[in-house]
A and B are shown apart, each in its own frame.
Chain A
Amino acid sequence: MELLEFFIMGILFTLGVQAFAYLSIKVKMPWYAWAGLITGGLTLLFGIGWAGSSFIENVPQSGSLGLTVFCLPGLLLMAFIIRKYLPKGTRL
């Protein structure tokens, strides 16, 4: 189960890297916006990994708290940066 989780996390990381690479040639943002976006993405993926393992080990409280304290801030950070720094009308 844990190996399957690592495999899925690998796929998610690969897709994440490609999405960032795609975004980097489509939009121009200041370096700190990129840093924030990458931090948000990594936090989100870490939260998914944490929560996945916690659910597998049968400690759902850790899983749900993991989603709340890692995934949520990651998502919020990404949403904030996209709203603030992504040029209006950008078509991806």
Chain B
Amino acid sequence: MTNSKIVADDNANVHSEGLLDNPERRKLFKRAAIGGGVVLASGLGAFGVGRASIEGKIDKSWPDLADDFKPFPQRDTMWSYAGSPHLMMRHPERNEQFGRLVKNDSRYNFQLQVPRYEHKGWDNSRPGFTQLDTALQHAGWCPPHKWDLRLGAMGIPDTQWFSWDQSGVDHEQYQFGTKLEASNAIRSAARLFGAVRCGIAKRDKRWDYDPIYNAGATVEMMEGAERMGVSKITDPQEMAKAMQGMMEHFKPEDRELSWEKDFPFEPKTVIVMAVPMDYDNMATAPSRTCAGTVGDGYTKMATLASQMAQFIQGLGYHAVASGNDLGNSVAYGIAAGLGEGARNAQLIVPGYGPRIRLCKVYTDFDFVEHDKARSWGITEFCKTCKKCADACPSKALDTREDTNYTFGGEHAEQPGYTWNNHEGIKKFHSDSKRCFDYWLESDTDCGACIASCTFNEPDYWHHWMIVAANPFVPSALHGAMSEMHPAFGYGSTENPAKVAKFWNTGEGMRVNPTNRNVFGAVGRS
């Protein structure tokens, strides 16, 4: 050791001894250490409680079913009805009643508007509906329109991406060591293919559509309609004639399919996955702009679910990918512990709110840890909030405070009006006829109830903190919390500033120093 080093060490000792000899300084160090320790301990404690809260509490009270609850026949979903000329002919009273009661036009017809849906012109003076926005809408929906996925989007089963084909099932079955290992492998594959959430539910016949319905429309028929320029016909009489001609030419046949006789195997597990929609794009709702992320979401649902079905088949088990077909995705999402059912009739997932799309894989593989329904106090929050119902341009959402077994909105008392509602389960019911009518009228996918939702937040700590705190917040404060959301600048709809903001979100993408919203970013997305 050199002399200068020894001198330096001595000086340091003298200096530190001097420091500690000074009682004032000792007190300062002690208090700073205690204060720092207390702050650190409380911070870590709050973080731990927050993390536990975000995991959700097992919800044994779900589902709350009426004695006469039955699985729902798929033919009675709005999509099936609107996409089926056969159902139009079998149930003309549904069109007539809706037209008479809601549209003041008893000749109203859903089916005759579908071929023109998302084919209308733009309006360059209207933000969100300009050529730029319309181009984005068509680009977002281009993969579903190029493949037969547009049929799958309407709930038609056994299509190219949501195929029932089991020829890919490997003859050898892979054996996992533990159920946890199997669940983790499934979730890892789902994450890789674009899922932001993946839950594994037991197959539950109550949530399956029964019977399954195939409206009979085919790609050839849709392409034929395109060639014949059906989407350009504006006169309803002309449209009726054109559709009649198509029916005669293509002779589509609708069919009901049974789980026992037609489905290729007996499912035991349903893997439920959520794909995200873009925050800034969805914030432009209701507009053509946000149809970009909706169409893109439909595409991602299809690729994710079919890749996962292929993965399970490769492990030697039967698997069928599913989007809006086969079963109620929201109910399965709840059963898989992904989120809670909300007033806007969607699944609210902590961290995303309703800004996700759900897809599923039905499989007979059951050596997994099945998830259970959980609660984050979201349904409870919805009882006071109602921001989505206020924002809904078609007034399709039920505004009664509590959840109910039946739909209770306008005209609910009219015989047969609620044909599209799956009643008998306690939840927030909605009028999907009004909703779809607004989509047709505005030529958008709307999404106002997603954009306005109090739980639709960007991915930052302060929003997570509110989600984590929500179960502990007394319901008397929920109203104030839902008012704070728009006051702080979130959740407005029909807002041209949000359209302008979206069209600047690409700025900085050459480097994107935060890696925010980017697939493949390090850590959890």
Contact = CB atoms under 8 A, between A and B. Distances in A.
Interface of A: 1-2, 13-14, 17-18, 20-22, 24-25, 49-50, 53-54, 56-62, 65-66
29 contacts: A1-B513, A2-B461, A2-B514, A13-B39, A14-B36, A17-B32, A17-B35, A21-B28, A21-B31, A21-B32, A22-B32, A25-B24, A25-B27, A25-B31, A50-B462, A53-B460, A53-B461, A53-B462, A54-B460, A54-B488, A57-B458, A57-B460, A59-B458, A59-B489, A60-B489, A61-B488, A61-B489, A65-B488, A65-B489
Given A56-B514, A61-B488, 5 more contacts: A2-B460, A24-B31, A25-B28, A53-B461, A66-B488
Nearest to B31: A21
Nearest to B488: A62
B35 A21 contact: yes
Contacts of A25: 24, 27-28, 31
Contacts of A49: 461-462
Nearest to A50: B462
B351 to A, nearest CB: 14
Contacts of A61: 488-489
A92 to B, nearest CB: 13
B8 interface: no
A7 B35 CA distance: 19
Contacts of B39: 13, 17
A2 B488 CA distance: 19
B487 interface: yes
A6 to B, nearest CB: 8
Interface residues on B, range: 10 to 19
Contacts of B311: none
Contact of B501 (A14, A20, A50, A58): A58
B490 interface: yes
> Is chain A's binding surface mostly helix, strand, loop or mixed?
helix
Nearest to A49: B462
A50 B35 CA distance: 23
B330 to A, nearest CB: 28
Interface string B22-33: 001001100110
Contacts of B27: 25
A1 B514 contact: yes
A58 B32 CA distance: 36
Contacts of A14: 36
Contacts of A57: 458, 460
Given A1-B514, A21-B32, A61-B488, A56 B460 contact: yes
Q: Chain B CB within 10 Å — which of A1, A20, A62 has the most?
A: A62
Nearest to A60: B489
A60 B489 CA distance: 8
Contacts of A56: 460, 514
Contacts of B24: 25
B211 to A, nearest CB: 46
Contacts of B458: 57, 59
A50 B460 CA distance: 10
B503 to A, nearest CB: 13
Q: Chain A CB within 10 Å — which of B28, B462, B487 has the most?
A: B462
A54 B463 CA distance: 10
Contacts of A66: 488
B26 to A, nearest CB: 10
